A and B are shown apart, each in its own frame.
Chain A
């Protein structure tokens, strides 16, 4: 069967060179039983996280938020305000951690970069003709380069679902590898660090089956993705716990097989602290503490942050503050 769970490191870098090898490998991955995966996700959802554990989880989750706005109506003013909030989510409480990143369209990157300069908050930009990905490769690459030039250090690309569903895995692979190259490749950028981290959006709502999610996860990792991300947030079904479970199992098995650790980002539909804690429990019990860090796990969300802040204040003070005590940006 596959390289999963074998302790010997395998060199899988040659797989991308041949459509046949890639297909054989992806179709040789163990299947995912839908009922079992959903049952496991539901069971993990019953964990009860209280008091100190809850406080720890909330701060961790705040640091993992990719604070996102991806609207046609985004303006420089809107994204500046968002970036300011990212730096200090709770102006009343300096002990509150900053978020992981701000995520915007490429055209908005320069305005966010001004605000985030010299901070530890990352600047993510969607690229590659987000959200559909239905554009010629040259345009996707230009889109990526423009975002990186403007200051993005994380690129959220979408895979070509059309090609994936049609079984043209090499095409998807090559495209991811090319975008990775446009991000600055696996090497380093100007200041001795990789120019931009690549997050690969699988759009799991369109892949439909968990078998596809597992295959697409491996495909994205084999092609060089630094993160695998569930969704654009632009189709009806976004992140779910079972889909994230399957992706976490994939990154776990991928590291066991190759030694390289890849991050996971569920995005879309995660709105409450309760939801976020369920994801953290799943990370903890599926891949372990190595992934419980903003470098390896992110939430693509916008309204989640305020709920986390409200719960954080509630835990500290014992009372709920009204929504007007938290900034709207």
Chain B
């Protein structure tokens, strides 16, 4: 046997403080009402730092700072000067990427291989990409002189903390807006390190404000009368509540919500690569991915073969210490999420689907869930309809391309989909019919700052990324 020795990435590169304040008007400040939260390492349950919990007064202070910065400095800067700051931030992110990656893995539980090779390169790429747009807005297709909206309130989730920050902040700043961002309560640390990067880049005070806290802080932010734009990524339930609360207020809104993507494997698929794509589709980031390929639709004539290959491949997945460079599957982000995953998988078993996991010892401390597939799943099962947001795949079969489309679209969501076939014409035929914002062909979970991303139906509205992503932050 060839056993890989432990290969842990050193955490000494990260300089954690015992507690963090709110980042308002260019400075770290204590919250007005003094509340605090603890951010823990989900792989060990160790407390990493104390985080301020922003109240209504703190949110108000941050929104006022953002307004001042919008009116006095940022909103008046020519695009090429905004670009200069964004390029500078992008370069600092690259320079400090190891530090950011280690901190992201500590706080979120995702494997260092992913934070190092996926999250951080994409974060830097987003800032570089939108830095390039800042002085070219008249050529973006939104009129000769498109104007920013003002102050953007941004609320982001815990699955890709820094990447979601980049998706929100980079286009907002490029278009000339200022922002108040609330990171998720379980993963605020990289956003706070990003605040330090804003200081390092000499970004004018108040352009970026970061108010940490939980649901109430987020509610105070999106409901604040001083914001012109609300951008939210997270669950459909919260997204619905936000849509209700901003209705009639004149605020512009973009929502990027849940998903239950179909990954459709045809009988002429490149099997080995399709299996990789299935694994990457659902086990990437422990399945904490809104566009995860959580429903495998496989053509019945090759289902046994594909499942046999998939099980063999799942046997190779290495679950454990997120900071070990050979780890494929890290920790579930929180106790609450683990409970949710358990509840839905128990429902799957109770409804008669068969679950399978490879032999996979779980560490004693921390939040863990073994990679799991359910076979014998039908459209009527909860695990085929509800977003599990964990490393759990539901396997369904189909007989014809038309049936594949019907089943793939038979969901309240519509964020993403995957097609695996060697036949180019079928890819185009399917892509025309799938009601999903992103359709991947012979790949899955590929992201690029030039490509717009967003959903149909209950997966939300508005687009992030690419030229389209600018529209959400311009008065058009």
Residues of chain A whose beta carbon lies under 8 Å from any beta carbon of chain B: 1, 4-7, 30-33, 35-37, 39-40, 46-54, 56-57, 60, 249, 280-281, 284-285, 289, 292
Contacts and interface: CB of A to CB of B under 8 A. Distances in A.
A63 to B, nearest CB: 13
B309 A49 contact: no
A35 B442 contact: yes
B287 interface: no
Contact of B2 (A36, A48, A53): A53
B298 to A, nearest CB: 13
A303 B416 CA distance: 48
B2 A30 contact: no
Contacts of A52: 3, 5
A33 B273 contact: yes
Interface string B262-301: 0000011111111011000000000000000000000000
Interface of B: 1-7, 113, 117, 267-274, 276-277, 302, 304-305, 308-309, 316, 325-326, 422, 442-443
A27 to B, nearest CB: 12
Contacts of A281: 2
5 contacts: A1-B305, A32-B270, A35-B273, A47-B326, A52-B5
B4 A30 contact: no
Contacts of A47: 4, 325-326
A6 B303 CA distance: 11
Contacts of A33: 270, 273, 422, 442
B117 A46 contact: yes
Contacts of A49: 4-5, 7
A246 B390 CA distance: 31
Nearest to B444: A36
Given A52-B3, A54-B5, 17 more contacts: A1-B302, A30-B268, A31-B268, A31-B270, A32-B270, A32-B272, A35-B443, A36-B273, A36-B276, A36-B443, A40-B273, A40-B276, A50-B6, A52-B5, A53-B2, A281-B2, A289-B2
Nearest to A285: B316
A51 B276 CA distance: 29
A47 B308 CA distance: 25
B277 A36 contact: yes
Contacts of A46: 113, 117, 325
Q: A-B pairs with the 8 shortest C-beta distances?
A: A36-B273, A48-B7, A48-B325, A33-B270, A33-B273, A53-B5, A30-B271, A31-B422
A33 B270 CA distance: 6
A114 B1 CA distance: 35
Nearest to B442: A33
B343 to A, nearest CB: 32
Contacts of A56: 2-3
Contacts of B5: 49-54
A39 B268 CA distance: 20
Nearest to B313: A285
Contacts of A30: 268-272
Given A35-B442, A46-B113, A289 B1 contact: yes
Given A40-B273, A249-B272, A285-B316, A5 B308 contact: yes
Contact of B442 (A5, A6, A36, A57): A36
Given A49-B7, A289-B2, A5 B271 contact: yes
Contacts of B6: 50
Contact of B273 (A6, A32, A60, A289): A32
A198 B270 CA distance: 29
B263 to A, nearest CB: 13
Contacts of B305: 1, 4-6
A47 B274 CA distance: 22
A4 B272 CA distance: 11
Interface centre among A31, A52, A249, A292 (most CB of B within 10 A): A31
Nearest to B305: A5
Contact of B271 (A4, A40, A53, A54): A4
Contacts of B3: 52-53, 56
A57 B2 contact: yes
B63 to A, nearest CB: 43
B331 to A, nearest CB: 19
A192 B1 CA distance: 30
A51 B4 CA distance: 9
B418 to A, nearest CB: 12
Contacts of B308: 5, 7
Nearest to B7: A48
A125 B203 CA distance: 68
B1 A50 contact: no
A4 B4 CA distance: 29
A152 B267 CA distance: 45
Contacts of B443: 35-36, 39
A56 B4 CA distance: 10
**Residue among B272, B276, B309, B443 with the most chain A CB within 10 A?**
B272
Contacts of B117: 46
Contacts of B269: 30-31
Contacts of A280: 2
A46 B117 CA distance: 9
B442 A1 contact: no
A292 B302 CA distance: 30
A285 B275 CA distance: 14
A29 to B, nearest CB: 9
A281 B316 CA distance: 11
Given A5-B305, A53-B4, A289-B1, A37 B272 contact: yes
B273 A5 contact: no
Nearest to A52: B5
Nearest to A29: B271
B309 to A, nearest CB: 6
A6 B301 CA distance: 13
A1 B267 contact: yes
Nearest to B116: A46
Nearest to A32: B270
A54 B2 CA distance: 10
